[in-house]
Chain A
Amino acid sequence: MEKGALMSIDAIDITKDFDGFVALKSVSLSVNRGELLALLGPSGSGKTTLLRIIAGLEWPDAGDIKIEGKSVLRVNARERGVGFVFQHYALFRHMTVFDNIAFGLSVRNRHSRPSKADIAKRVHELLELVQIERLVRRYPSELSGGQRQRVALARALAIEPIVLLLDEPFGALDAKVRKELRRWLRRLNEETGMTSIFVTHDQEEAMEIANRIVVMSQGRIEQIGKPAEIYENPANPFVCEFLGNANRIALTWTNGKMSHPAIDLDAITFKPRLHGAEHVYVRPHDIDLVKDAAGAGTVRFLSVVGPIARVDVEVMAGEKPIEVEMPAHRLQRAGLEVGVPVKLSALKGHIY
């Protein structure tokens, strides 16, 4: 009972099929009250479908959705009390910002509808919350993308939802605005404690603001966990490659010891049952580069963006180069340039 009370949303064995395309295969997920959860995955992974099923905009073929412990499959979107923010905002174009935000309150039946003055008060509170008070009389077409998104957020919040669902909320915005709104969402979640789920295909976005990340692929959940947890210990190759880059290095096994002709793998520890695995996945920043005339690798490409230097090292002609990342200041100290021979050693890796 104690544990149940903490759950805000439970998805149980959700399956959804669109004319032969299986969008969700028996997906189960529990969302804690007050958390900011990211559904992360490539397009076609089923993340948006899951979000829409929770909102009541789509119906599962099998399974159950519980909000606060009660099944809501018989409750339609109108009565679910879920705030939904659409990818393309879906603002009502013939209404002003004010009327857009007031919509959810103004469509209530006479008994529960606030008075005009109360609606106006609430709208202004929300405008203040999303910091666009001065745009109250504008129409959506007169707003920038970021401003529209703020209106969409305020509109969804107006109905005081139990849970806030956001479908790729920052996907269509430019980098600076995106960053600002991300932080804002994070703060909103911390201040109001409103359970929020957002869909994204941007792993950086998910890592930056989510309390927990649900990694999805091809209609299944691959892993659920805190951002650092997932990044440090990806459950499988898909998660490992989707969350940040990873070099896939083919292994040779001799006498229970793995090796690679050009990369030193001695530092990598692994469980005995993983003997004979075909690959090890190594993140670019977990590889050490040393200039070495006898080294098996050659630097092919260098790029420095701010504090990070990215180096592509060719280890075998015709094979995909190994990607390495290091602090920019180390690059010069190590004397690395295009064409220089180098020795590579992996500091850490994941074997499956």
Chain B
Amino acid sequence: MNRDPLAVRITLIVLAFLVMAVLIGLPLVTVFAEALAKGWDEYVLALIDKLTLSAIRLTLITALISVAINLVFGIMAAWAIAKYDFKGKSFLITLIDLPFSVSPVIAGLVFVLLFGLQGWLGPTLQGTGIKVIFALPGIVLATMFVTFPFVARELIPLMQEQGTEDEEAAVSLGASGFQTFWRVTLPNITWGLLYGVLLCNARAMGEFGAVSVVSGHIRGKTNTMPLYVEILYNEYNFTAAFAVASLLAFLAFVTLAAQSLLEWKRAHS
């Protein structure tokens, strides 16, 4: 048992709560207070504004596409790493982690250098008429880059721990590759997968830096919610800025609640 004096324990616990209150609680309260400073009507008006709705739509579409693609790639990468032995495995793991250590701004810039008008692939793309930078594809690419590790990172240790015996058993019982994946592998990783998707989604919706570089901030077209919050704020439109921000804060609450639920589920499965 813990043998620290009671005073020490209480002080530490109180301090921890205090820090959390100042760093997280206060800002959150501020967001909602500012958003509602001029009353509910103003708040709702700010949210149903055409440009706000467009930003919300873009954020949802971006998150949907990038989470879906990362889900597939994440499962594939985790499968390869956990179930096969090959040279360069640890290099692949490092590579998957790279987005965590690279500044999102750099990630954005890389895509501009690749797909921008002056970029390597710029002239080719222009010929085909496909626009990547200052358009949805660029925003999705930047978001995917930043959020790639979440699903894979969650699955690799889980799949490594589970090994390949279940799959071998399924195959020896006559299951095809697809049946094995669908009926054995996927159910085994459900909770880890949902957890990864949840974190991936939260980050995808909240990403600012990388998206900011590639988006071009065209109102009603390439503004995601975080970008739109900044624009509104810079224009001293505080109520609208905090109203949109409150949606992102609300997303954080939902994520947190879902996270706790998943952790509980995982512990009990």
Beta-carbon contacts under 8 Å, B151-189 to A: 165-166, 168-176, 179, 183-184, 187-188
Number of A-B contacts (CB under 8 A): 63
Interchain CA distance A155-B168 in the complex, whole Å:
13
Question: C-beta contact mask, A40-59 vs B, less than 8 Å → 1, else 0?
Answer: 00000000000000011100
- A84 / chain B contacts, CB cutoff of 8 Å: 168-169, 172
Query: What residues of B have a CB within 8 angstroms of the CB of A56 in the complex?
Result: 172
Interface of B is mostly: helix
Distance of B168 from chain A, by nearest CB (Å): 5
Interface residues of A in 83-136 (CB under 8 A from B): 83-84, 86, 88, 90-94, 103-104, 107-108
Q: Is the CB of B169 within 8 A of A86?
A: yes
Residue A77 lies at the interface, judged by CB distance under 8 Å to chain B: yes
Shortest CB distance A340–B (Å): 54
In residues 185-203 of chain B, which contact A (Cβ within 8 Å)?
187-188, 190
Interface size class of A (residues with CB under 8 A): 20 to 34
Closest residue of A by beta carbon distance from B172 = A84
User: A78 in the interface, Cβ–Cβ < 8 Å?
Assistant: yes
Q: Nearest-CB distance from A115 to chain B (Å)?
A: 17
Q: How far is the CB of A159 from chain B (nearest CB, A)?
A: 6
A84's nearest neighbour on chain B, judged by CB, is B172
Whether A86 and B168, one on each chain, are in contact in the complex, defined by CB atoms closer than 8 angstroms, is yes
Which B residues touch A93, using CB under 8 A?
Answer: 188
Determine how close the nearest CB of chain B comes to the CB of A349; give it in whole angstroms: 44
Q: Which residues of A contact B174 (CB under 8 A)?
A: 78-79, 104, 107-108, 159
User: What does the 1/0 interface line of B184-228 toward A look like (CB < 8 Å)?
Assistant: 100110100000000000000000000000000000000000000
Residue on A with the closest CB to B184?
A: A92
Say if the beta carbon of A82 comes within 8 Å of chain B. yes
Contact present for A94 and B172 (CB under 8 Å):
no
A86 lies within 8 A of B188 (CB): no
Interface size on B, residues (CB 8 A): 18
Cα distance, A172 to B172, chains bound together (Å): 22
Determine which of B168, B173, B188 lies in contact with A107 in the assembled complex, contact meaning CB atoms within 8 Å. B173
List CB contacts (< 8 Å) of A13-59 with chain B. Answer: 55-57
Q: Is the CB of A107 within 8 A of B179?
A: yes
Other-chain contact of A103, B175, B176, B187 (Cβ < 8 Å): B175
Contact (Cβ within 8 A) A77 B168: yes
Are A90 and B179 touching (Cβ within 8 A)?
A: no
Please indicate the chain B residues that have their CB under 8 angstroms from the CB of A55 in the complex: 172
> What's the nearest-Cβ distance from chain B to residue A55, in Å?
6
A168 → chain B, closest Cβ, in Å? Answer: 13
Max count, chain A CB within 10 A of own CB: residue among B166, B171, B175, B176? B171
CB-nearest residue of chain B to A83: B172
Tell me which residues across on chain A come within 8 A of B169, comparing CB atoms: 84, 86, 90-92, 155
B173 touches A90 (CB 8 A): no
Report the minimum CB–CB distance from B262 to chain A (whole Å): 16
Chain A 46-81 interface 0/1 with B at a Cβ cutoff of 8 Å (1 = within): 000000000111000000000000000000111110
Contact A94 B188 (CB under 8 A): yes
Interface string of B48-66 (1 = CB under 8 A from A): 0000000000000000000
8 A–B contacts from the bound complex (CB under 8 Å): A78-B172, A84-B168, A84-B169, A88-B165, A91-B169, A92-B184, A107-B175, A155-B169
